[in-house]
Amino acid sequence: MNNCTLRIKNLRDSDTGEQYRFRFITDDPKGKWNGDVVSMTLTELQVLFNPATVKKGDKVTLTCKTTCSLSNNPTYIWYRNSQPLSNSNTTRNTLSITSFSIDEDAGYYSCAVRGNEDHPSPSVCVPIGWSVTYTPQSTCALKGSSVELHSYYTYPCDHTVAKAFWFTTLVDGTGKEDLSGDEHYQGRLDYTENNKNSHTLTIRNLNDGDAKSYSFRFITDKTGGKYSGAIVELTVTELQVLVSPAAVREGDNVTLTCSTTCSLSTNPTYIWYRNSQPLSNSNTTSSNTLSVASVSRVEDADFYSCAVRGHEDLPSPSVCVPSGWSVTYTPQSICALKGSSVELHSYYTYPCDHTVKEAFWCTTRVDGDENPQDLTLDEHYKDRVIYTVNNKNNHTLSIRNLTTRDSNNYRFRFITDKERGRYSDENVELIVTGN
């Protein structure tokens, strides 16, 4: 009943220093009364920080300061880059950062009094030094693939970046030209800004000429505002299959290694191939090795290659895992009726770095002729002999209208493209009997 409040909205500088008093008048001619003088001082929020020059790792204290002590015991809210800091809704007007880091703490800070969030302090730049960091600092990538080089950079927050680019570092320290204008990279290079302080260089279809040292550089809007980071090293490699032992015999335990000149940066998994066909038991493995427990003539010897999963279009060159020379017959002896037909089957192997140029059947002679005659050229077998190649290593001799004279020992022989590449082994016996 006896309380009266004066409320002044939208206070201005002209309101400060004014003296206010309350006066009331009654119905008594002398009933006039003035209260004591009330002085009002206006202030604004201001952020101060200590130390004035901040380095990474420093302990920093920010103070939300006024020129007079605010009434009503206020609580404060702190902001970084206009975003409220969730851990700073405190009754204190100070904000402490135990260890100032480049990645998280630099930026513009402001404060406000709770309940008056629409009247924050001006933002103050808490500066940090110039820096460029790379993730990773070195990269190994496959020739023909793509690679991304990532940079994170910092600069004083009262600067604005006007230009950012990548360049290659030459031996003499020169070469600060933007790669996007380099003819060598035309059509293969992209820049990506993931956020305010991240910049990524992407190079596609890598070649040997891309194996260099790369640096990131940015230029700000202020005089002297230029900065380049150290370097990120890019190595370009190709896959190669190594065989151990180098000379392989039937029954050997063989280890194949998918090798590179540097360690690939993608923690790859590998795919192995034999004769360009993927091996089902090795489609996913964290190892770059393939073990063949016992190289056999029939199954394991041939051309092997490897690839990195996700880059199957960039396999290694094929490497020959050699086996010995052999010919086997199924069956090893045959008895057939005169006038009928018979088939003699052979399966043969040879080192995979050879190519078969000629393959034929012959009869075994007592004198061991080193240059036996192809049966298809023998007048005795004219129009009765047919050769059938069922697959790469199978060769079948068919003889029709058998005669007793056809009873003989037969041998398969093949000749390759290399010197002394001739082979025949054992024989299959054919016995022709009458009715």
- Is the bond leading into 278 cis (omega within 30 degrees of zero)? no
Write down the pLDDT at residue 386.
96
Compute the radius of gyration of the chain from its Cα atoms.
Answer: 44
CB contact at 8 A, 430 and 412: no
CB contact at 8 A, 413 and 362: yes
pTM score, whole prediction: 0.63
User: What separation in angstroms does the CA of 336 have from each of 109, 164, 271, 369, 403?
Assistant: 102, 86, 49, 27, 10
Write down the pLDDT at residue 283.
47
Domains 46-126 and 238-321 share a fold: yes
Q: Which residues contact 87 (CB under 8 A, 6 or more apart)?
A: none
Q: Which residues contact 290 (CB under 8 A, 6 or more apart)?
A: 255, 256, 258, 272, 279, 282, 304, 306
Instruction: Write the DSSP symbol of residue 63.
Output: E
Instruction: Write the DSSP symbol of residue 222.
Output: S
The tokens of 130 are what? 């110039």
pLDDT in tens, the chain (435 residues): 677 766 666 666 666 666 777 777 888 887 777 777 666 666 788 888 888 777 777 888 899 998 888 877 888 999 988 888 876 555 688 888 877 765 567 778 899 998 888 889 998 888 777 888 898 899 999 999 999 999 988 888 778 899 999 999 764 555 678 999 999 999 999 999 877 788 999 999 999 999 999 999 999 999 988 998 889 999 999 999 998 877 666 667 888 999 999 999 778 889 999 888 888 765 446 678 988 766 665 556 678 899 999 999 999 999 888 767 888 898 999 999 999 999 999 988 887 778 899 999 999 764 556 678 899 999 999 999 999 998 778 999 999 999 999 999 999 999 999 888 888 888 999 999 986
**CATH superfamily of the domain spanning 326-433:** Immunoglobulins (2.60.40.10)
State CA 307 to chain mean position distance: 14
What class, spelled out in words, does domain 132-236 have in CATH? mainly beta
Domain ranges for the chain: 46-126, 132-236, 238-321, 326-433
Q: 10 Å Cβ neighbour count for 18?
A: 12
Write down the pLDDT at residue 55.
72
The tokens of 67 are what? 């020129």
> Alpha-carbon distance 267 to 203, whole Å?
19
Domain 46-126 part of CATH 2.60.40.10: yes
Length, in residues, of the chain:
435
> Alpha-carbon distance 144 to 208, whole Å?
9
Domain 238-321 part of CATH 2.60.40.10: yes
